[in-house]
Structure 1
Amino acid sequence: MIVPDISQDAVAVADHYDELDPIYRRVWGEHVHHGLWGTGRETPGEAVEALVDTVGDRLGLKPGQACVDIGCGYGSTARRLAVTRGVSVTGFTLSGEQSHYAAAHPVPGVDIQVRDWLDNGLPDASADAAWAIESSEHMVDKPRFFAAAHRVLAPGGRFVICVWLAETDAGGWKVRHLLEPICREGRLPSMGTREEYEAMAMAAGFEISGYEDVSRRVARTWPICARRLVKALFVDPEMRRLALRARNRVFVLSIPRLILAYRTGAMRYGIFTLTKAGEDGTQIGPNASAEAD
């Protein structure tokens, strides 16, 4: 597990997203996650929605199901899946700014709460499906993150996690100059490997129903962000002020690191599909497991 040399907590995560809210929405929009390119001809907007749709497909969502979005950001994923799949969604974010945006864009069946997932207050076995798109990285206690999801899911429930992963056995300059600074600058308490995530998931009681490495299909997110940010800094005084004076301005330095981390293989992007055992102890979930670079 990669751990930054300055510890991060939920308060730091909330402050990061609250303060940098204008930058996130100006540079990337209302989805706070990577895009997923298939043909390479998709627009960034189409690519971020493709990742959401992939999560919905992996979950096998059906109309009427109760779902949980862990680290829901602006609620855009919750809204899209509620509308396209007919599900209800309870979303959790640490950011008040993200919650305000979600409240200004309501969709029936979507409830966004400002609350730490590690203290979510949901009843046992109350959700049919759950997802976490690039939020587990911000969890201080990752085993508790998995345990909470297992508790909240009903028997047979599915859990999809899209996650930034450290290269297995990464060392030397990759840790010192890429992975540790990315954790520190992005307010990540830690970054795990595929093997560490699988071990924590199984310890919580999940079966690993599928895993796919989509690093090459998401990596172009960061060059696009870099170009947009540079352009915005030239034309927008407020963006320049935030980039130069904000408490969390150091995150700007992570963009070139992220580009290099993907190009060198120091960082990977994985999609896990997990399943909670059914009432009879059997596992219900997707059968296929894909491996791709």
Structure 2
Amino acid sequence: MIVPDISQNAVAVADHYDELDPIYRRVWGEHVHHGLWETGRETAAEAVEALVHTVGERLRLRPGESCVDIGCGYGSTARQLAGTHRVRVTGFTISAGQARYAAEHPEPDVDIQLRDWLSNGLADSSANAAWAIESSEHMVDKPRFFAEAQRVLSPGGRFVICAWLAETGASGWKVRHLLEPICREGRLPSMGTREEYEAMARAAGFTVTGYEDASRSVARTWTICAFRLVKALLVDPEARRLALGARNRSSFLGIPRLILAYRTGAMRYGIITLSKPEEP
């Protein structure tokens, strides 16, 4: 497990997203996660929605099911899946700015809560499916992240995780100059490998039913983010003031590092599909 040299906690993660909220929506968009280029001809918006569509397909969502979006951001993924699959979604975010934006864009059957997933308050076996798109990285206690999902899902429940993962056996220079700084700049308490994630999932009681390395299909995201950020800094004085004066501005300086981490294979993007076993 890659751990940054400066400890990160939930308060730091929430502060990161709250302070950079206006910039993130401009650079990342409302989904705040990678896009998935399946043909290479998709627009950035289409690629972002394609990733959400892929998650929905892996979950095999059925109308009327109760679902959980762990680390839901602005609620855009929850709204998209609730609308296309006719499911009910409860989303969790620790960012007050994200929760406020979600409240300003309500959707039937979508409930966004300002609450830490590690203390979610949901009843045992109360959901049929759950997903975590690029939020597990921010979890201070990753085994508990898996344990809570296992507790909340009903027998036979499905769980899909899209995660930034460290290369298995990454060399020392990749850890020192790419992975550890990415954790520090992105407010990630830790970054695991595929093997570590699957081991934690199994320890929590899940069965691993699928894994896809989508690194090559998502890497273009960071080139687009870099272009958008440079454009915002050049043409928008307010964006420039926010980005350059922010306590968390190192996150933007780390974009070239993320591009290099994908190109060298130091960082991987995994889509992990899990299931909770049926009761005997």
Q: What TM-score, normalized to structure 2?
A: 0.99
Q: Which amino acid aligns with 1:191?
A: M
Which residue of structure 2 lines up, in the alignment, with residue 66 of structure 1?
Answer: 66
Structure 1 CA distance, aligned partners of 2:244 and 2:276? Answer: 46
Which residue of structure 2 lines up, in the alignment, with residue 170 of structure 1?
Answer: 170
Structure 1 CA distance, aligned partners of 2:274 and 2:39? Answer: 27
> Which runs of 4 or more aligned residues in structure 1 lie more than 6 Å from their structure 2 counterparts after TM superposition?
none
RMSD of aligned residue pairs (Cα, Å)? 0.5
Partner deviation per Cα, 1:239-267 (whole Å, 9 max, x = no partner): 11122110101101210000000000000
Deviation for aligned residue 1:28: 2.0
Structure 1 CA distance, aligned partners of 2:100 and 2:233? Answer: 25
- The answer to whether residue 65 in structure 2 is matched with residue 37 in structure 1 is no
Q: What are the equivalent positions in structure 2 for 1:80-159 lying under 5 Å apart?
A: 80-159=80-159
Which residue of structure 1 lines up, in the alignment, with residue 197 of structure 2?
Answer: 197
Partner deviation per Cα, 1:55-78 (whole Å, 9 max, x = no partner): 000000000000000000000000
Structure 1 CA distance, aligned partners of 2:29 and 2:244? Answer: 21
Structure 1 CA distance, aligned partners of 2:48 and 2:260? Answer: 21
- Determine helix, strand or coil for the equivalent of 1:130: strand
Structure 2 CA distance, aligned partners of 1:55 and 1:172? Answer: 33
Q: Which amino acid aligns with 1:178?
A: L
Which residue of structure 1 lines up, in the alignment, with residue 279 of structure 2?
Answer: 279
- Determine helix, strand or coil for the equivalent of 2:187: coil
Q: Which amino acid aligns with 1:109?
A: D
Structure 2 CA distance, aligned partners of 1:159 and 1:90? Answer: 14
Q: What TM-score, normalized to structure 1?
A: 0.95
Which residue of structure 1 lines up, in the alignment, with residue 13 of structure 2?
Answer: 13
Structure 1 CA distance, aligned partners of 2:108 and 2:172? Answer: 50
Structure 1 CA distance, aligned partners of 2:28 and 2:45? Answer: 9
Structure 2 CA distance, aligned partners of 1:171 and 1:257? Answer: 16
Which residue of structure 2 lines up, in the alignment, with residue 52 of structure 1?
Answer: 52
How many pairs are equivalent? 280
Structure 1 CA distance, aligned partners of 2:254 and 2:54? Answer: 26
Structure 2 CA distance, aligned partners of 1:22 and 1:173? Answer: 34
Structure 2 CA distance, aligned partners of 1:108 and 1:277? Answer: 30
Query: Structure 1: any 5+ residue segments left out of the alignment?
Result: 281-293
- Determine helix, strand or coil for the equivalent of 1:34: coil
Structure 2 CA distance, aligned partners of 1:52 and 1:224? Answer: 18
**Which stretch of structure 1 is more off in the superposition, 39-48 or 234-243?**
234-243
Which residue of structure 2 lines up, in the alignment, with residue 215 of structure 1?
Answer: 215
